[in-house]
Structure 1
Amino acid sequence: MRVAFVSMFTPDHRDTPAFRRARRVAEGLAARGHVVIWLGAKWWEGEIDRFEHEGVDYRALTEAPAAGTFRSKLPFALRKADPEVVHAVNVPPAHVATAKTAGRLLRTPVVVDWWERDPEIGSRKQYRKAASKPDAVFTPSETVRTAVREFGAAAEDVTVVPNGIDFDLVREAPVDDGVDVVYARHLDGDANVGTFLLGLAELRDRDWTAAVVGDGPARGDAERTARDLRIDDRVTFLGDLSPEEFVPLMKGAHAFAQTATYEPFATNLLWGLACGCVGIVEYQAGSSAHELVEGLDRGRLVTSPQELADEIVASGELETMAVNEGFAGFDHDAILDEYETHYEAVVADQGLF
């Protein structure tokens, strides 16, 4: 299949989960033999306006991100790319409407991968158009699916396609039993590491060790909180780690704690669950993390630091696991299968009219 990705930004411009997800899918499809063209802003050095990387044909519509110019050139670039399906990222949202208009003229279906609304890029009106214009919308979770429907998308047009992980890595990585409890996330204003640390502080009289994986502007405050709670001798702040580095740690831990107030999809929690951790999730209205543990034997929902502490203790009574095969369906290959299936469906629907 010939697929055109429409995203002015790549992770080289804005390193966010949305653009990392788009690149991962594009490269995965290319590795399967699909023709994948990425229409975006230039992110490489040199004078050339096309650049192939990991099987993806990147075509620069602009020298640098410039929303208006990009939008004006997009219809012509799509016509030249001649795709069977257009896969657009929802940020900036105005590009989705332009892609859909071009797709209608070219009789090409347009799907949108929607991670979140970025309030700094695009108005609410533009996001409403982005939600209602495409042939299909993919979201990483039911929480985001609900948000997209509130922007006007029809229920039957929105499908959950979760983030994936490398399950072969989970199976093959060694076990590092250096810590009992793990927290992992980008440490920004939504990380809410304080709740995790308060829960650990309730367990001062018990023998445990914990690790915080991740970096960001809230790291300094978190480290100070650990010192103020007098648990800094048992909590290690490890900074950013690659999957190859943090998977062994999770395979050796008993529990993974998720307390962030905002999470379109809790990918790090998924890693922890796949590595056999008991997932302890503090329910937050702005987070989808609870979706991964609801109804799960090795999952717990809590609402306070004290409940978090209680569940950490209880997790130590459960059987130790290093791999939970129940999450094999989240492997990257399985997620690519879902994308391919949905592409085929929208292409088939397009042929009916």
Structure 2
Amino acid sequence: MRIAFVSMYTEQRRADGATRRMRRVAEHLAARDHDVSVLCAKWWEGDVPAFEQHDVNYVAVTETPSATTFASKLPFALRRVDPDVIHATNSPPGQVTGAKAGARFLRVPVVVDWWAEREGDSRGACKRAARGAKRVVTPSQMVKTTVREYGAPEEAVRVVPESIDFDLVREADTDDRADILYSRHLDEHANVESFFLALAELRDRDWHAAVVGDGPERAEAEQTAADLRIDDRVDFLGELPPEEFVPIMKGAHVFAQTAAVEPFATDLLWALAAGCVGIVEYQAYSSAHELVVNAERGARVTSPQELADEITAAAGYSQETVNDAFASFDHDDVIRRYEDVYADAVEEYGFF
């Protein structure tokens, strides 16, 4: 199948949850012998209009990111690629409108992959992006609710979660340097202070914690740990690739999820698959609780005190290093769900 991804921003230029998801899906589809192109703002050096990386063909629609110019030029770029299906990310929403214009000429369906709105995405533009697509894919039920509020019909929306390398989880060694873990990009939504407040309630107990991740709020997080006088029992490990953080998750007993904003809690998923007891502090703009709602080794809390209580209660669970209940989140299984969405969209489009 010829698949054209539409995303003005790519991970090579702007790394966030949406661009990481798009790149991973594109590369896994290419590995399954699909013909995959990404129509984007140019991010590579030189005068060539296209650039191939990991079997994915990146096609420059514009030289630099400009939402208006990108949307206006997109239909012409799509005609040159001539895809069977168009996979457009939701932000900026104008690129979805441009993708739909190109799709009408090519007589192919548009699948919108909705992660989150970015600053500057107007509600009106988001409504236009959500409506009229053959399929809208979301990473969680929480994001699905948002898309439905923008006007996407129920029957058009499919939840396709983030994915992990479950073979890596099975095969990785175990590193028992920490009992309790937190892992996330340390930005303004990380809310790592809730984690530290819970740990401070447990000063009289024997534990060692680790924080995996880096970001603009790391220094403040380190200061908070020092202010609470727990910094000698918390290691800040920085950003780690899966090959390095999975062994640490397999060795830990508890993973705490406290972030205030999370379209999908990928680090929590890794930890649950690696046998951790997952404890989620409920947040209005986080979908993390969805991963533990029916999990045997999981709990939801609403405050640092409750988090501390559940960390204590987690001692009643056995130590495990693999949880097969999360095997369906493996990369191959999730990519097949994308392929099913494309096939359904193409088949349905053929009826009209």
Determine the structure 1 residue equivalent to 2:36. 36
Count of residue pairs the alignment pairs up: 352
**What per-residue deviation string (whole Å, max 9, x for no partner) do you get for residues 52-100 of structure 1?**
1111111111112122222222111111111110000111101101111
- State the secondary structure of the residue aligned to 1:316: helix
- For 2:152 and 2:199, the matched residues in 1 are separated by 42
Gaps of 5+ in 2: none
Q: How does 1:336-347 map to 2 (within 5 A)?
A: 336-347=335-346
Q: How does 1:83-98 map to 2 (within 5 A)?
A: 83-98=83-98
**What per-residue deviation string (whole Å, max 9, x for no partner) do you get for residues 318-344 of structure 1?**
111001111110011111000001100
Give, as a single letter, the amino acid of the residue that structure 1 aligns with 2:4: A
Q: CA deviation at 1:101?
A: 2.0
1:259 aligns with 2:252: no
- For 1:93 and 1:315, the matched residues in 2 are separated by 43
Q: How does 1:102-141 map to 2 (within 5 A)?
A: 102-120=102-120, 122-141=121-140
Give, as a single letter, the amino acid of the residue that structure 2 aligns with 1:17: G
- For 1:286 and 1:27, the matched residues in 2 are separated by 29
Determine the structure 1 residue equivalent to 2:239. 240
Gaps of 5+ in 1: none
Q: How does 1:1-353 map to 2 (within 5 A)?
A: 1-120=1-120, 122-353=121-352
Give, as a single letter, the amino acid of the residue that structure 2 aligns with 1:12: Q
**What per-residue deviation string (whole Å, max 9, x for no partner) do you get for residues 209-267 of structure 1?**
00011111221221111111111110111111111111100000000000111100000
Q: What is the identity percentage for the equivalent residue pairs of Structure 1 and Structure 2?
A: 62
- State the secondary structure of the residue aligned to 2:232: coil
Q: CA deviation at 1:303?
A: 1.1
Contact 2:68/2:94 (8 A) holds in 1: no
Contact 2:279/2:299 (8 A) holds in 1: yes
Q: Choose 247-256 or 41-50, whichever is displaced more.
A: 41-50
- For 1:68 and 1:188, the matched residues in 2 are separated by 29
- For 1:147 and 1:216, the matched residues in 2 are separated by 27
Q: Alpha carbon RMSD of aligned pairs, Å?
A: 0.9
Give, as a single letter, the amino acid of the residue that structure 1 aligns with 2:90: N
- State the secondary structure of the residue aligned to 1:233: helix
- For 1:24 and 1:187, the matched residues in 2 are separated by 22
**What per-residue deviation string (whole Å, max 9, x for no partner) do you get for residues 184-230 of structure 1?**
01111111111110100111111000001111122122111111111
Contact 1:51/1:59 (8 A) holds in 2: yes
TM-score, length-normalised on structure 1? 0.98
Contact 2:71/2:97 (8 A) holds in 1: no
TM-score, length-normalised on structure 2? 0.98
- For 2:323 and 2:4, the matched residues in 1 are separated by 35
- State the secondary structure of the residue aligned to 2:235: strand
Contact 1:97/1:133 (8 A) holds in 2: no
- For 1:94 and 1:17, the matched residues in 2 are separated by 19
